[in-house]
Amino acid sequence: MAHSSFRAFCEKLDSAGELTRIAKPVATELEITEISDREMKSPAGGKALLFEKPTVDGKVSDFPLAINTMGSRRRMAMALGLENVDELAAQMQFLLKAKPPRTLREAITLLRNGIDVIHARPRHVRSAACQEVVHKPGGAFSLHDLPILKCWPDDGGRFVTLPTVFTKDPDTGDRNVGMYRMQVYDGWTTGMHWQVHKVAARHGKRYYERGESMPVAVVLGGDPALTFAATAPLPDGLDEILFAGFARKKSVELIKGVTVDIDVPATADFVLEGYVTPGELRPEGPFGDHTGFYTNIDDYPVFHLTAITHRRDAVYPATIVGIPPMEDFYMGEASVRVFLPVFKMNFPEIVDMALPAEGVFHNLVFVSIRKQYALQAYKVMHGLWGIGQMMFAKYIVVVDDDCDVQNTSEVLFRLCANTDPQRDTTFIKNPSDSLDHAPTLATMGSHMGFDATHKLPSEGYLRGWPQLVKMPPHVKKWADEFLSSLP
């Protein structure tokens, strides 16, 4: 089930009892953050919030602001048009294992299992809601008319916090869509915080080497399936639009920008069009970040807007980041669920994986494996450190398959009980997340692996690994029945 606009998604959340409307004016400076932070930290992520009258410097904005729209398991699934994100994970798994259909019957079996690759392909249209209203520089309208948040007191300014940034590889024309925050410098200029490891930064480097101006379009709102796709760790070269079309089972409709040669989703709420000049950098930040700390000022590219287009009934999408858990935890969790089949295909011994909220995505990764041979835990760690954004994983803890990695307390129990610290750890060098303030040098550092699996004689452990204390299932079943039969 696809959503025809961000407003339509908000209405679905409302009728499902997942949205609270706030009719009184609330300031985009700090106040929306404080209310949203409390909501995001309430049990299971609270509700989505629709601020109907966000104010900018005391003036009520023409556009309402919605936040925390993906900040729970249920809302994250609803964003993808699902009851549960595991449905999409099952389809990914089926697709990876599927052979190309040879008969009509095989093709029907694929369709019955929800595998709809036909709709992965986008469709081009000639007119679109996202271009109902077009503003150009020099007019009365500017970014100051959007309810853009100043999230935290020491932030360097206002930041667009939920943007999906469309760029093209100048060599191949391949599209990328990534979420990179944008600091507002003035009504028509922002920062572009694509970190060095991200795909848009690679595109930018190629424009720089070619000495060409880089066209960029930034989409706000529209179908949240696309917003999620922009955050998902897809391999470089895999088009987020294809992934979103596959996930929502409906082709994404695209239209060419008004002032840039970049296709944007027709159902977007706002589109910011413009360009990045190769070599131009400007201090960006500070910004209260995912890590729970402010990231320091650093030089980043500058985005010059050439048009702002929007729907008449546009809703401005926002999120805040800060000390976890926040809305982004649920987005990250969904990514892990959806891409687990891909990890399992590369590492058949992997049973499950979790990135607990305390680890802010990359700092802590729990993975359970079906161990068969000596040092297998290390093979899995090194493999993960070599795959895409898993390169950032600061601590990886590997446990046996009978440990539930979704339960942090169970993992800590195994970690403490099953490891000899010197024997069962390893340090490596790898790129670090740009946001990690702990390493001495930015973007590089050490990473640590813990082998908390049982140890084998072939690993030199000759004392006979003990059995875990457990009750057999028939006694558990008896106790369940016995206890429920008591008055």
**Which residues contact ligand FMN by CB under 6 A?**
176, 178-181, 193-195, 198-200, 231-233, 319, 321, 328, 331, 389
176 near Mn ion, judged by CB under 5 A: yes
Q: Which residue has the tokens 């895409």?
A: 388
Residue 337, CA distances (Å) to 10, 77, 116, 233 in order: 24, 11, 19, 12
Residue 206 burial (CB count, 10 A)? 16
Nearest of 145, 29, 69 to residue 317 by alpha carbon: 69
Residue 444 burial (CB count, 10 A)? 12
199 near Mn ion, judged by CB under 5 A: yes
Question: What is the SS3 assignment for 18?
Answer: coil
Q: State which residue, 53 or 202, has the beta carbon closest to Mn ion.
A: 202
Interacting span for Mn ion (CB under 5 A) from 48-56, 116-124, 227-235, 447-455: 227-235
Residue 290 CB, shortest distance to ligand FMN, in Å, is 7
244 near Mn ion, judged by CB under 5 A: no
Catalytic residue among 116, 239, 263, 289: 289
Q: Which of the choices Mn ion, ligand FMN, none does residue 233 contact, using the CB cut-off of 5 to 8 A by kind?
A: ligand FMN
> What is the separation of C-alpha 76 from the centre of its chain, rounded to a whole number of angstroms?
11
Q: Which helix (H) or strand (E) holds 178?
A: strand 175-178
What mask, x for binding Mn ion by CB under 5 A, covers residues 126 to 165?
----------------------------------------
User: In this structure, what token pair is assigned to residue 439?
Assistant: 């390493």
Q: Which residue has the tokens 């294809």?
A: 242
Residue 356 CA to residue 364 CA, distance in Å, equals 7
Residue 434 CB, shortest distance to Mn ion, in Å, is 16
- How many residues sit close enough to Mn ion to count as binding (CB under 5 A)? 3
Residue 267 CA to residue 269 CA, distance in Å, equals 6
User: In this structure, what token pair is assigned to residue 102?
Assistant: 């040879």
Q: Which of the choices Mn ion, ligand FMN, none does residue 331 contact, using the CB cut-off of 5 to 8 A by kind?
A: ligand FMN
Residue 348 CA to residue 369 CA, distance in Å, equals 9
Q: Which of the choices Mn ion, ligand FMN, none does residue 383 contact, using the CB cut-off of 5 to 8 A by kind?
A: none
Q: State which residue, 178 or 341, has the beta carbon closest to ligand FMN.
A: 178
Q: State which residue, 61 or 167, has the beta carbon closest to Mn ion.
A: 167
Q: Which of the choices Mn ion, ligand FMN, none does residue 319 contact, using the CB cut-off of 5 to 8 A by kind?
A: ligand FMN
Q: What is the DSSP letter of 203?
A: H
Residue 191 CB, shortest distance to ligand FMN, in Å, is 9
- State yes or no: is 289 an active-site residue: yes
Q: State which residue, 200 or 390, has the beta carbon closest to ligand FMN.
A: 200
Instruction: Point out the residues that are catalytic.
Output: 289
